[in-house]
Amino acid sequence: MSEPPAVEVRDLVRVFESRKGFLFNEVTRTSALNGIDLSVDAGTIFGLLGPNGAGKTTLVKILSTLLLPTSGTARVLGHDVTKEAAWLRPRIGLVLGGERGVYTRISGRENLRYFADLYGVPSGERDRRINEVLERVI
């Protein structure tokens, strides 16, 4: 039996919605990915090239389980990025240039919890270490 592709993407779509207006009832939809198909064999060196706004970072964030697709499927090492994210996260290394190392829409404690979970720190140890760190800065 042959090894699955390192990365396999089928009909991947990601649409971002933004709301504005007095009651936030005006919805604007922006398609970042529209039906992407891609297969990369294990051991292959592969690059994504394209202009700003082409969807490169969106695709990488989906493949690294940081962003959910709107539709379609994405698999890394044979595992579905939406259904098996907990298995994949400790096995993926990712550095995104030009971005902050935190998520500004969640609290500092939630950021620490998220990254501890990403690295598989057991929950009891995670909470203890987060409390220790926050005691130093609060």
Read off the pLDDT of residues 89-117 as tens digits, 9 standing for 90 and up. 989 888 777 656 778 888 889 989 988 98
For the entire predicted model, the pTM comes to 0.69
Output 98 or 87, whichever has higher pLDDT: 87
Domains of the chain: 1-95 (3.40.50.300), 100-138 (no CATH)
**pLDDT, tens digit (0-9, with 9 covering 90-100), for 27-86:** 899 999 999 999 999 999 999 999 988 999 999 999 999 999 999 999 999 999 999 999
- Token duo for residue 116: 């501890």
Sign of the dihedral through C-alpha 89, 3, 80, 122: negative
- Cα 30 from Cα 90, distance rounded (Å): 31
3-state secondary structure of 88: helix
Please check whether residue 59 is in contact with residue 12, taking contact to mean a CB–CB distance below 8 angstroms: yes
Assign 130 a pLDDT band (cuts: 50, 70, 90): very high
